[in-house]
Structure 1
């Protein structure tokens, strides 16, 4: 039986809110295999096609997370889920031309409790899934968050992909990390070529982590 976190199937990656295109060759030479970037209503941290082209040219894959603020219960509701899902689909398809059946993670960027999950985050994720379903699920829904959020969203069928945040003191961090059920594990900060990144581990023991290494023609239409 394969170990749930077999070292042979773990790959190094990074994520950042900054443009990583200019450092793509350096990142690849340092042994990283993929870079996590953002979809958002905030233009300063959005992935662009030009940046994606530079990352692909260096043989780096990309994985994406949607986040505006997403760091308190007040940022999660069905209405916000609908808005963010539509914006994520537009940026993925019309702007980046992200290939179908790859992933889009949605951030829960704080230590959400069980109460928060039940009353705020679950309705938010249900709304995202409803929007994605209305378009034929062009992309897999993922969630970024603490162990509790990742585990509950997966158990509820609201996330196919999970990205465990680096905050080791958050709810159920150790339990979820040790389960090996995560697709991406976030680690400590590192600075490369003047840009701050979070280090990540891609867990190919769980299959695809939702990344992509090329563009696709726009095709998301209702």
Structure 2
């Protein structure tokens, strides 16, 4: 069972963020009741995050208190340990084009969602960018799809260049979403694949915030309502969701990143990624959807 998270007795601040999403009340700059606010439950007209009943989140300071009173979360699990029938995982992400043979294996394991990448045509790994021919194949297996935009998002330089990369990445993501017929309630995650968010000069918190502000502005200017998700550390999730710049949290397998142990211990995430492994003849990352979470931005391809 997930722990009951503390509730803020104060009313929510309805001031809008630059993206037009309702800003949550904060303690020490971190959001309280973030999930209810970000997912639009305080604002039925929120276009970016439709109102769905999902667990609330707690501020990082409260999560530290909760996690201190709980058993420590174990180290990241290994994907290799789940390459077997009915292993209990929900999702797999892969940087290679899916095939019937691969999907046969994933169905045997119990996978119901495929994670694939949005990227530029000069993809950073051959086969990483989602192809149109994959969609009907995934659909034929009755599996849903989650997409994440990544193009050198493991480099701090990507976020230092947020004024250019934020709008450019958002436009490319929107182009692909339109090409693939992604429905309005399907999230587009953006990767922050490094320990870039935290307190202190060694971090790039303002750069990451600037990047996501530009992503949201670009989405708003295009008149779309795709929810924005973030893939990264616990602190990255807390910060961006607290600022109203993301609505879903996909924790990377790097459990040593800032805020990730607290997020895991408190159950304050949507998807948890396991360590890299090999299954179905290729490198994979298996993932587990958090207990009680049914909507994490997945969508059914056609």
CA distance in 1, matches of 2:216, 2:156: 19
Q: What's the CA shift for 1:65?
A: 0.3
CA distance in 2, matches of 1:213, 1:204: 21
Moved more, 129-138 or 147-156: 129-138
Deviations 1:171-190 (CA, angstroms, capped at 9, x unpaired): 11110112222111101233
Report the counterpart of residue 220 of structure 1 in structure 2. Answer: none
**Residue 24 (structure 1) aligned to one of 103, 119, 122:** 103
Report the counterpart of residue 36 of structure 1 in structure 2. Answer: 115
Report the counterpart of residue 107 of structure 1 in structure 2. Answer: 191
**Residue 92 (structure 1) aligned to one of 177, 181, 196:** 177
2:165 matches 1:80: yes
CA distance in 2, matches of 1:26, 1:72: 33
CA distance in 2, matches of 1:179, 1:187: 18
Report the counterpart of residue 193 of structure 1 in structure 2. Answer: 280
Report the counterpart of residue 54 of structure 1 in structure 2. Answer: 137
Deviations 1:145-174 (CA, angstroms, capped at 9, x unpaired): 111111101111100111100011111111
Contact 1:146 1:172 in 2 (8 A): yes
CA distance in 1, matches of 2:119, 2:276: 22
Contact 1:78 1:126 in 2 (8 A): no
CA distance in 1, matches of 2:217, 2:89: 32
For structure 1, the 5+ residue unaligned runs are 216-222
**How many residues get paired?**
210
CA distance in 1, matches of 2:3, 2:223: 31
For structure 2, the 5+ residue unaligned runs are 5-54, 56-87
Contact 1:67 1:107 in 2 (8 A): yes
Matches within 5 A, 1:140-155: 140-155=227-242
**Residue 123 (structure 1) aligned to one of 210, 219, 233:** 210
CA distance in 2, matches of 1:183, 1:125: 19
Q: What's the CA shift for 1:208?
A: 1.1
Deviations 1:2-38 (CA, angstroms, capped at 9, x unpaired): 73699xxx96111111112331122112111111000
Runs of 4+ in 1 over 3 A off after TM superposition: 2-6
Contact 2:154 2:193 in 1 (8 A): yes
CA distance in 2, matches of 1:212, 1:36: 11
Contact 2:89 2:110 in 1 (8 A): no
Moved more, 44-53 or 84-93: 44-53
The structure with more strand, counted as a fraction of residues: 1
**Residue 69 (structure 1) aligned to one of 145, 149, 152:** 152
Q: TM-score, normalised by structure 2?
A: 0.65
2:300 matches 1:213: yes
**Residue 179 (structure 1) aligned to one of 255, 266, 271:** 266
Aligned CA RMSD, in angstroms, stands at 2.1
